[in-house]
Amino acid sequence: MADDLTHEQLQTMAAAIGLTDLTDEHLEQLSRATRAARGRRASLRTETLVPSDEPGHVFRLGSEVLR
């Protein structure tokens, strides 16, 4: 499991997003994914970011919906 997350914390994290029937193998996968995400986030340089650096998500309706 992730070094700083207990089995119970992983279960709580999973339950918070509706994943209540995870096996120990699934929790181990969640632990690895959490550890990897935290590692990537820690390596990002954020001190020079400004609000305009936030990616903008643009959605548009297709022409078939606009009729």
- What does pLDDT average to in each consecutive run of 10 residues of the chain (67 residues)? 79 93 94 92 87 78 66
Instruction: Give the start-to-end residue ranges of the domains of the chain.
Output: 1-38
**Residues whose CB falls within 8 Å of the CB of residue 31, separated by 6 or more in sequence, listed in order:** 1, 2, 5, 10
Q: pLDDT value at position 66?
A: 59
- Give, to the nearest 10 degrees, the angle between helix 7-16 and helix 24-43: 80
Please list, in sequence order, all residues whose beta carbon lies within 8 angstroms of the beta carbon of residue 30, skipping any fewer than 6 positions away: 10, 13, 14, 22
- DSSP H stretches of helix in the chain: 7-16, 24-43
pLDDT of res. 4: 81
What local confidence, expressed as pLDDT, does residue 65 receive? 63
